[in-house]
Amino acid sequence: MNAKKISSEISKPPKKPEESSVVMTEMVLPSDTNALGTIFGGKVMSWIDIAAAIAATRHARRVVVTASIDALHFLAPVKVGHVVHVRAMVNYAARTSMEVGVRVDSEHPLTGETTHTATAYTTFVALDEHGRPTPVPPIQPETEEEKRRYFEAIKRRESRMRLAEDLKLGNE
Ligand SMILES: CC(C)(COP(=O)(O)OP(=O)(O)OC[C@H]1O[C@@H](n2cnc3c(N)ncnc32)[C@H](O)[C@@H]1OP(=O)(O)O)[C@@H](O)C(=O)NCCC(=O)NCCS
């Protein structure tokens, strides 16, 4: 590794989670729904992927790709005409990868009542101009909530890596 590359790896200043956070607001249209008039899971997954990709790109200021999305549970149906809020934030940045947490809530348009729809933990990897993983800035959590998310993200990363190792062993 040459000196220029080493200095580019160690010179990235940390960034705060709020610098890259994303809030996306959508409305559920008839074309987004099934025969019961509730949203398709795939539509919510698409919004999660987009919001998380924007947050990861803002953090890295690089092209990013989705490496994985942890188990995703839909907690409540969302009806046509309801408003959906998708909030994404970088919880933790490792060397080239970032965990982006995404929370989805729905809002009844007439009453304003909100319901938690889903929470997802996604991992994005930053790529250089040759399509190879490239270093990202570290995350500097500031609030108690950001610190809690940061340490929980480290634990999830460790468990993802253990699972990947187990699956590799199972394939041998
Ligand atoms: C994600 C991808 C770039 C990783 O490439 P790779 O050659 O395995 O890279 P490495 O082994 O050097 O790992 C690079 C980083 O990715 C992370 N990573 C790799 N696979 C991962 C996975 N399945 N889940 C979470 N993180 C993963 C590694 O932990 C590492 O993170 P770190 O540098 O922060 O420690 C590659 O698998 C890829 O291009 N996948 C397709 C992505 C894509 O097209 N997504 C769109 C939907 S198909």
Tokens of 19: 């610098």
Condensed to tens digits (0 to 9), the pLDDT of residues 83-96 reads 999 999 999 999 99
DSSP-derived 3-state class of residue 142:
coil
Is 6 within the bounds of a domain?
no
Query: Is 123 a pocket residue for ligand 1 (Cβ < 6 Å)?
Result: yes
What is the distance between the alpha carbons of residues 65 and 62, in angstroms, rounded to a whole number? 10
Is 2 within the bounds of a domain?
no
Is 152 within the bounds of a domain?
yes
How many separate domains does the chain show? 1
Query: If residue 99 lies in a helix (H) or strand (E), which one and from where to where?
Result: strand 97-107
Model confidence band, residue 9 (pLDDT cutoffs 50, 70, 90): low
Is 7 within the bounds of a domain?
no
DSSP-derived 3-state class of residue 140:
coil
Q: For residue 77, what are the CA distances in angstroms to 15, 40, 41, 50?
A: 35, 9, 9, 20
Query: Is 133 a pocket residue for ligand 1 (Cβ < 6 Å)?
Result: yes
Query: Which residue has the CA at smallest separation from atom 21 of ligand 1?
Result: 67
Query: Is 81 a pocket residue for ligand 1 (Cβ < 6 Å)?
Result: no
Distance (angstroms) between ligand 1 centre and the Cα of 75 equals 28
What is the distance between the alpha carbons of residues 100 and 79, in angstroms, rounded to a whole number? 26
- Give the residue numbers spanning the domain of 93: 12-171
Query: Is 136 a pocket residue for ligand 1 (Cβ < 6 Å)?
Result: no
Model confidence band, residue 29 (pLDDT cutoffs 50, 70, 90): very high
Check residue 170 and give its pLDDT. 65
Is 26 within the bounds of a domain?
yes
Condensed to tens digits (0 to 9), the pLDDT of residues 40-76 reads 999 999 999 999 999 999 999 999 999 999 989 999 9
The per-residue b/e assignment along 128-137, b for 16 or more CB within 10 angstroms, e otherwise, is eeeeeebbbb
Query: Is 97 a pocket residue for ligand 1 (Cβ < 6 Å)?
Result: yes
DSSP-derived 3-state class of residue 100:
strand
Distance (angstroms) between ligand 1 centre and the Cα of 112 equals 40
The per-residue DSSP string of 48-94 comes to HHHHHHHHHHHHH-SEEEEEEE------S--BTT-EEEEEEEEEEE-
Average pLDDT, the chain: 94
Query: Is 95 a pocket residue for ligand 1 (Cβ < 6 Å)?
Result: yes
Is 142 within the bounds of a domain?
yes
Check residue 12 and give its pLDDT. 86
What is the distance between the alpha carbons of residues 71 and 121, in angstroms, rounded to a whole number? 8
Query: Which residue has the CA at smallest separation from atom 19 of ligand 1?
Result: 67
Is 148 within the bounds of a domain?
yes
State percent of the chain over pLDDT 70.
91
CATH number at residue 122: 3.10.129.10
Check residue 91 and give its pLDDT. 98
